[in-house]
Structure 1
Amino acid sequence: MVLVQLVPAAQSQTGAPVPADLLALARNSSPEARQRLLLGVLALCDASPPAGELSPILGEIFLTLARQAEREVRKVLAEKLATADWAPAALVNVLALDEIEIARPVLAASPILKDDDLLRVMIEASLEHQIAIARRPHISGRVADAVIDRGEPAVLTALATNRTAELSVDGVRRLVEHSRRIAALRAPLTRHPRLTEALAEQLYQWVGAALRQTLTARFNVDEKAFGAAVYDAVAGVMRPAEADEASQDDPERDEMERRLIDKLQAAGQLRPGFLVRAVRERRLSLFVHGVSTLGGFATTDVREALAAPTPEALYYACAAVGIDRAVFPTLLTELRRLNHNLPGDRGDPVWQRGSLSEASAARAFRALHTGAQPDMQTAI
């Protein structure tokens, strides 16, 4: 190991480093000069900064250091300047776009960074930079809205945990909507100071039992009334009614059933058995939207599977959402009665090949709809 003796940069009579000497060191790329430059910068940061704008020579020293110095020098510089209100704006912006370990201190605290600077970093830098911005104390509503617009789960979660962010009611509402698909948002939102009672009732639909207790204690959400509302919605659809063939030709009816499926999914009550029962109750459109939602498939792909000359794609879709292969033959017969004898009976009964995992079935279904040829022997 080679030890380098650190020799301080020349200092003025007041004890502060001499700017001209620091600039000379900044232009010297030798290891010894870099070490001395580091000591000089530290001393400069510890000294009382000059009143008003920094002199051009000091600004050039800082920028030269940031652009040419080793990583450790830039890291120490970022830590020293993180809270300085006199630091050169150009330098702070350079550090904010550096690698995250260097950028994090200035992104978290620098008073030099304005909204436009933060928005630029969000566009140009990494996901870790975005998370650091979302955690920044007292970020403005403009920056918070930009975070929500981007919709990155990790960044949204960081924003939800930031109690000082200037979130509007609409911003909180959008976070609650995102929490339907991003489970990590739910816990911080239940405790967020800007969560309203109306939004708490919406959030209540898709959180677990523990978080429901938190919401109930905080907002006095009526658990019995909510449960009854969900039950009525399900029962209203599942009660015996007329045949469902016309629902595909009725956009209003189709949209109503799509919303019901979304509501059941959000409440954690959408299950494979519900889809089987929907077919038995002659609710074809409800079955289509249910399979699409549970499997993460496009409804157009599910409808194509129902209209295909072979039931292969439909079987993969059903297996992907957890419908047992032993149930599929009977389900297929009932679906054909509702759907003009489609899907057709061409091809081999793939459900007789053996069990198929949900993940493998989903891959096989998507492969059929992207034109790829799935490897069935591997999938089964």
Structure 2
Amino acid sequence: MGAAVRAQDLISLAHSRQAGDRERLLLAVTDLCDGSPDSRRPEVQSLLDNVFMALVVEAERDIRRALAERLAEADWAPKALVNVLALDEIDIARPIIAKSPLLRDQDLIRLLIEATIEHQIEVARRPALSARVVDAVIDRAEPAVLTALVGNPSAEITEGGMRRLVESSRRIAALRSPLARHPKLTRLLAEQLYGWVGQALRTAIADRFRIDSDALDQAIAEAVRAAQSGQSGEERQVLLSRDGEREEMERRLIAKLEAAGQLRPGYLVRALKERKLSLFENALAALGGFSITDVRSAIDAPSPEPLALACAAVGIDRVVFPTVLSLVRELNAGRPYGSEAGRAILSAFGTPVGVAADHFRQAIAGGASARV
């Protein structure tokens, strides 16, 4: 009798043209399938595909979110529907990406290619992520997604993958702290990472791997001195000549520091304190992967927001930015103008480094379009 009544209820809901009834039908069918062994039969699966897809198209956002939560761990759910929900708004997609047993490696890689940064971050956080998907994340080299991956201890990161992540940490400061604590970090990679981190992380690495920090610090210092004094006497004479040639020498110096693993955010402040604005510009461009033209546009902008975005993208802390801005203004006739405490500035330092880099490029492009 109860089953008959339930069937009659479903038929009534199916005949109704009210939006609320269609949504109730969707959840009722979900309940029915969840407890039925027949829901896994191929002919039933085919029928469910059609029923669910027809209903989901008209479902409101809250219903889609509730459905995603209900289907996140269901192994009977229609695969096409799971993939549609995985590409939906991130609040809807999140439980599906995190838990669905129906998402295969190729589905997750598709999300890395087609979906938003937020979706890609959820893929990187997925428990027991396979080596194939891990390699796809590393190949794409999106800073925020790489940072999420390094924070996922259950991801299947191979030795080669760890090596690539440590190498990426040279330019992506956010990777360094989680890498220093990662269970798969080897002693050899730890010694490489040691040269790119601050003092607190150096101490942690030295304690964990029993590294002779004094000897390693001396080796790094010698590499830096070699990089900084590697110009010949003739090169140093050229450095003092024309501006364009001086900047070329600065770029060479930065390339040597980068190769030695010593080009870090702190070097930007040092360059400004030494009153070398051009050196600061070239170092910021190298650290962020920006063009020197875009960096100079930020420094000459009518607002400090683009410069804040560039600084956030290379790992400069928000509390350091007022010092950077003040030093830049001293060397650049007061530009960029505006307050360093505005909402946009605070927002810049609240976004992942990869997103800050994208916003920086968009801000510069928008400024250029406005000037045209």
Match of residue 81, structure 2, among 80, 91, 107: 91
For residues 58 and 233 of structure 1, do their structure 2 counterparts lie closer, same or farther at Cα, with a shift above 3 Å needed?
Answer: closer
> Match of 1:80, SS?
helix
For residues 152 and 234 of structure 1, do their structure 2 counterparts lie closer, same or farther at Cα, with a shift above 3 Å needed?
Answer: closer
- The question of 1:44 aligning with 2:32 is answered yes
Tell me if the contact between 2:97 and 2:123 (Cα under 8 Å) persists in the aligned partners: yes
Equivalent residue number for residue 343 of structure 1: none
- The question of 1:53 aligning with 2:52 is answered no
Tell me if the contact between 1:107 and 1:132 (Cα under 8 Å) persists in the aligned partners: yes
For residues 239 and 168 of structure 1, do their structure 2 counterparts lie closer, same or farther at Cα, with a shift above 3 Å needed?
Answer: closer
CA distance in 1, matches of 2:138, 2:99: 21
Tell me if the contact between 1:148 and 1:156 (Cα under 8 Å) persists in the aligned partners: yes
For residues 114 and 27 of structure 1, do their structure 2 counterparts lie closer, same or farther at Cα, with a shift above 3 Å needed?
Answer: farther
For residues 49 and 73 of structure 1, do their structure 2 counterparts lie closer, same or farther at Cα, with a shift above 3 Å needed?
Answer: farther
Match of residue 188, structure 2, among 198, 209, 222: 198
CA distance in 1, matches of 2:184, 2:42: 39
- The question of 1:243 aligning with 2:243 is answered no
Number of aligned residue pairs: 301
Equivalent residue number for residue 272 of structure 1: 271
User: Which digits, 9 at most, give the CA deviation of each residue in 1:204-243, with x for residues without a partner?
Assistant: 1222222222211211222111221122223334389623
User: Which digits, 9 at most, give the CA deviation of each residue in 1:13-42, with x for residues without a partner?
Assistant: 5x9x54x97477457440342353145134
Match of residue 204, structure 2, among 208, 214, 227: 214
Match of residue 214, structure 2, among 194, 202, 224: 224
Equivalent residue number for residue 12 of structure 1: 3
Match of residue 30, structure 1, among 12, 15, 18: 18
- The question of 1:73 aligning with 2:81 is answered no
With normalisation by structure 2, the TM-score equals 0.66
User: What residue ranges of structure 2 are gaps of 5+ in the alignment?
Assistant: 296-323, 340-359
1:86 Cα offset (Å): 1.7
Match of residue 143, structure 1, among 117, 133, 141: 133
CA distance in 1, matches of 2:230, 2:154: 48
Q: Which has the higher contact order (CA 8 A, sep 6+)?
A: 2
1:45 Cα offset (Å): 4.2
Tell me if the contact between 2:22 and 2:55 (Cα under 8 Å) persists in the aligned partners: no
- The question of 1:113 aligning with 2:112 is answered no
Moved more, 200-209 or 44-53: 44-53
> Match of 2:57, SS?
helix
Equivalent residue number for residue 332 of structure 1: none
Equivalent residue number for residue 312 of structure 1: none
For residues 186 and 29 of structure 1, do their structure 2 counterparts lie closer, same or farther at Cα, with a shift above 3 Å needed?
Answer: farther
CA distance in 2, matches of 1:118, 1:373: 39
Residue identity in the other structure for 1:148:
I
Percentage identity across paired residues of the two chains: 45
Residue identity in the other structure for 1:264:
Q
CA distance in 2, matches of 1:300, 1:242: 30
Residue identity in the other structure for 1:73:
I
Tell me if the contact between 2:254 and 2:283 (Cα under 8 Å) persists in the aligned partners: no
User: What residue ranges of structure 1 are gaps of 5+ in the alignment?
Assistant: 1-9, 278-286, 303-318, 327-350, 375-380
CA distance in 1, matches of 2:284, 2:109: 36
Q: Which has the larger radius of gyration?
A: 1
CA distance in 1, matches of 2:111, 2:19: 31
CA distance in 2, matches of 1:357, 1:22: 65
1:150 Cα offset (Å): 2.0
Identify, as 1 or 2, the structure richer in helix.
2
Tell me if the contact between 1:137 and 1:165 (Cα under 8 Å) persists in the aligned partners: yes
> Match of 1:164, SS?
coil
CA RMSD of aligned residues (A): 4.1
CA distance in 2, matches of 1:88, 1:126: 23
CA distance in 2, matches of 1:301, 1:123: 27
Equivalent residue number for residue 256 of structure 2: 260
For residues 224 and 130 of structure 1, do their structure 2 counterparts lie closer, same or farther at Cα, with a shift above 3 Å needed?
Answer: same
User: Which digits, 9 at most, give the CA deviation of each residue in 1:295-336, with x for residues without a partner?
Assistant: 55757999xxxxxxxxxxxxxxxx99958978xxxxxxxxxx
